[in-house]
Each structure stands twice: as C-alpha cells, then as structure tokens.
Structure 1
Amino acid sequence: MNDEVRREFENLAAREPIPLARGALLIAKDEYPELDLEKYIDQLAALAREAEPALRAAESTVEKIQSLSEFLFTRKGFEGNRDQYGDPRNSFLNEVLERRLGIPISLSVLYIEVGRRLGLKLYGVSFPTHFLVKAVDDRGELIIDPFNEGAILDLDQIRARLQQIYRQPVDVHPEMLKPVGARHILTRMLRNLKNIYAQGADWQRVLSALDRILMLDPRSLEELLERAVLYERMECFSPALSDFQSFLTQAPEHPAAETVREAVIRLTQQVSRLN
C-alpha cells in the first residue's frame, strides 16, 4: 500500500459514519493507485437517476425493491460471478461497475448505494457465508439477495440456506439478520480479499488487507496476531515484535498468550542481534 492510499484509508477509517461507496473504492485503490473515485461515485448516482422513473411508479416498498432489482439485474446486467467466484476483481467496486460482475457483498454494496439514492432504507446483513441486504419500512423488513438477482427471501428460504451451510437444521437467530454499518461491511470485504490472497500465497497483499482491517477495527485481536505472525514470516522482525507486544497488552489472558510471550522473547533477541 503506497503512502497516499494509506493516508486516505486512515482518514476514512477515522470517520463516523464511514461513507460506504468511498470506502469500497478506497479498498480498490490499493490495487489501482490512479483510480478516480469520483468517476465511480458519479456512476452510482447515474444508475439511481436512470432507475428513478420505475421506482416512482411503484407504490409499496416491495414493488420498489422489485423495480430496483429488475433495473440492476435485468436491464443493466449485473450478476453474480459464479464461474470465477474467487477472482479478486469481484470485490472491487470499480470492477463491479465496469464488468457487471460481483460476489454477494460487492453486489450488496452496489444495491445499497443505488437504493439509498432513491430513498430506500437499505442496510447490509452479515449473514453467514453470504452477504445480504435488508430493506426497512413502516410495515416491517425484507431480506434481499443481490447475488441472486435481488430475490426477496422468506424465513423458510433463509432457514434452508442455514441448513445448507451447517448441514443440519439451524434456527434463524435475530443476530444473523441484524443490520450492519459500513465499517463492518468494509472489514468483511477486506477479509474476503485477505483469504483470496492467502490462498495464492500473495503475502504482501495479505499484509495490506490486514493493515486496513486493523485501521477499521484496531481491537481485532485475530488480525493483530495474524499480522504479527506474517511479519515474522516475512522477516520483518521489529513490526512483528511490536504487534506481538500489543497483543499481550490487550489480551494478557488470551489462550494464545503463552505462545505470544515466547514469540516476544524470540523476537526481542532477534531484533537485538540485528541492531
């Protein structure tokens, strides 16, 4: 991650609330340093303007959702990339807008950003393994699946999906369908990218993803420990030592604490030899 992109992302991570589209595009800017964020934000606004007449004719929230889904997935041709699900480009909002292909979370960001510009109350839902969208109005809530052409899911369909994931009957807990904010959404996008890069042993990109996750969520012990281990693997001993020490400061009673203490001793000696 170059210094300019790092500063931009740090500044964004310090904001509350975080602007979702800008955050998603800043994730992409690490891969495309010359990316013009405003160009793609304007594209989202243009999509909303084009969809507006159809939604204006709709009366209920259900009809508006159906109109928005028909516009995005039938007329404009956005779709889930089932053939190359693990392609990192599926996670970059600029690429989603250019290629009309995405995964559940990136298509959800698109859906939320266009829908909100049209006055819909839309929120991300961090459902297990498959990100969804929730629409809220005075009458209740709708759960929408942008990866499957904006299908509106009922409780039985949600329950069936859980059974597929866990291979046994599972109750639908309210926690599974609660709305999440932009910080959570961007963190999940980065975790997806981190996992994709780790599968390809692209450790520099894994490190970049971890850096940005920790900007968004400095208290994420899992990522802090993961970054410490990665730094040591990359022979970046001083930052590895710093992360291990920070982990112990935050979680001295953690189950991994003893292993981390051993790493601190080992790396303290290593750094001392290098100096």
Structure 2
Amino acid sequence: MGDRMYLLDWNTLATLDDESLPLLQAALLIARDEYPDLDPAPYEALVQAHAEDVRAEVEATGPRPLKMAAVNRHLFFELGYAGNQEAFYDPRNNYLNQVLERRLGNPISLALVQMEVARRLGIPLDGVSFPGHFLVRLPVEGGLLVMDPFNGGRPVAVEELRERARPHLGGEIPDDHTLLQILSPAPPRAILARMLRNLHASYAESGQWDRAARSADRMLKLLPNQPQALRDRGLAYLHLDYLPGAREDLARYLQLAPLAPDADEIRERLIEASHGRAVLH
C-alpha cells in the first residue's frame, strides 16, 4: 500500500468522530505539510518497535503503575526521548517525524509517543490538556496517576498539580472537583488542535505567515468555525496581503466572539482590510 493511501487526507479526517480519529496518522498528516515526501510507514513501525521492545517486561509486571514505569524507563532513559529545553518553541517539536527521529519534543508530542506506545501494550494512557504543559493520566486503583512527559514521565503529585493550575485560575487553588475537571482526558481533536496552535504560535513569532496561515487553516479543518483559529488565519492573511480571506475570517471571528478582549483591535484590522490596505504593527 502506498503511503498516500495510508494517510487520510484532511477532508476525510474532518468527517471522523473522535473515537474513529487515528491520532498517530493525523499527527503525521500535520507533519506532511512541512515534509511533503514523508512516508508514514517507518514511523508507525518505529512506534510499534518501541512497544515490542518492552512488551515482555510489561506483561510480566502486575499493577498498572509498574507497567507504566517500565514504558517510561524504556522511552525516556533507554531510548533517550527528552523535552527540548533549549529550543522549546522550535516547530520541529510539533512534527512527529522529527520527534521520533531526534527523540526531542515538547510536552504534547512526547505525550503522543508515550500514549501510542502504551496503548499498543494495553495500557489506557490518556492525554490531559492541562494549563501550561500537556500531561498524561492513567486510571489506577484508587484514582489517577498523572505524569509529565516533558520531564521523563515523572509522576506529578496532587499538590503540584494544584500549584501548576493556580496561575491559570486567577490565583485560586483548584478544589478536588475543579482539578478533576481539568484532568479530564483530552480527545484526539483537542490534542491535534493544540499541536497546530503551537505551530501557529512558533511561525507567527518568527514571521513565517504562510506557515502560520496553514496551521490555522488545518485547525479549522478539525474544528470548523473555531473563533481563535479564524482570527489567527485572518491576521496571517493580512500579513500576506490576501485581503478577501482576511476580511472573511476576521468578520466571522467578530460574529462568533463579539465580546472577545481583542474585539476592538480586530475591528480596526477588519476596517484596514476592507479599505484595501494592511497596516500592521
């Protein structure tokens, strides 16, 4: 089977519900935008090999936390997967082919590798869209084991989770109910959208507006009419002097989010686009 047949196209992907959405394939599809000759088969085989290398140990181990510890030891210590501390915002940290080749990534891409290996071993590991850094969670007897893939998969204690969440909750320490809500499993679409948001932010910061627009466009394939993605694509179009697209996206953003904190600023940008000129600061 040729690789073009192996990877779903974006339009097909957009029609799938979360339960049917293949996370690894979809992440490689994101990478193909930047690496058009990407053959997904070797990367699928590599993830499978990671699982097979540790399968005997996992199957011989009893409780889930110990099974997961074996997976983490293999990935983060024996194979050397690590968080890219020196270049956190490098776009390659979000492209799964690069993560698997370089064994360097950011929290969400490392979590994706961790989840895919664990699931091949029958370990029900889920991602968590935690504020700040993406985490993973494993149901265990008596509760949840929460781990940090950016730091070698180490367990994160409840009090540390509360402190990590606190700055994103107006300084309030979350109670048990709020914390459990934050720790809900992230659906595949949310994981892919977060990777695309990371890419958009990296490319916008470096002024690569064609790639920034592409990242926002892909997000809209997964989440049609997502206000922030419409805004981000519209502003990227403005930088690229594609004014019809900018007008359509920014007008739709204001329609969907009229009370957004940046609504006045976006209205100014829309006026500029409607007058046929892009004045950007």
TM class by shorter-chain length?
Answer: 0.7 to 0.9
Decide whether aligned partners of structure 1 residues 165 and 49 sit closer, same or farther in structure 2, where only a CA change above 3 A counts. same
Q: Unaligned 5+ residue runs, structure 1?
A: none
Matches within 5 A, 1:200-215: 200-215=206-221
Q: Deviations over 1:187-235 (max 9, x none)?
A: 0011111111111111111111110111111121122122223222321
Q: 1:96 aligns with which of 89, 96, 99?
A: 99
Tell me how far 1:239 sits from its aligned partner.
Answer: 1.4
* Correspondence list, 1:72-151, <5 A: 72-137=75-140, 139-151=142-154
- For residues 252 and 163 of structure 1, the distance between their equivalents in structure 2, rounded to whole angstroms, comes to 28
2:81 partner letter:
F
- Distance in 2, Cα, partners of 1:261 & 1:88: 30
Amino acid aligned to 2:12: N
Q: In the alignment, does 2:180 pair up with 1:174?
A: yes
Unaligned 5+ runs, structure 2: none
- How far has the Cα of 1:158 moved from its partner? 1.5
Tell me how far apart the structure 2 counterparts of residues 188 and 222 of structure 1 sit (CA, whole Å). Answer: 12
Letter of the 1:35 partner, please give it.
L
Tell me if the contact between 2:128 and 2:185 (Cα under 8 Å) persists in the aligned partners. yes
Alpha-carbon distance, 1:259 to partner: 6.6
* 1:150-181 Cα shifts (integer Å, max 9, x gaps): 11122022223335778956225222211111
Aligned-residue Cα RMSD (Å) equals: 2.6
The aligned residue for residue 235 of structure 1 is 241
* 1:9 corresponding residue in structure 2: 10
Aligned residue runs from structure 1 range 46-65, under 5 A: 46-65=49-68
What TM-score comes out, normalization by structure 1 length? 0.87
Aligned residues: 266
One-letter identity of the residue aligned with 2:133: H
- Relative to the length of structure 2, the TM-score reads 0.85
- The answer to which of 129-138 and 243-252 deviates more is 243-252
Change (3 A) 1:140 1:258: closer
CA contact (8 A) 1:121 1:137 kept: no
Which residue number in structure 2 is paired with residue 191 of structure 1? 197
Deviation at 1:82, TM superposition (A): 0.9
**Residue 160 (structure 1) aligns with:** 163
Cα deviation per residue 1:29-65 (whole Å; 9 max; x = unaligned)? 1110000112211211111111101101110011111
User: How far apart, in 2, do the equivalents of 1:270 and 1:146 lie?
Assistant: 47
Percent of matched pairs sharing the same residue: 38
What amino acid is aligned across from residue 203 of structure 2 in structure 1? Y
- Looking at structure 1, the residues matched to 43 and 238 of structure 2 have their Cα atoms a distance apart, in angstroms, of 38
Range moving further from structure 2, 110-119 or 211-220: 211-220
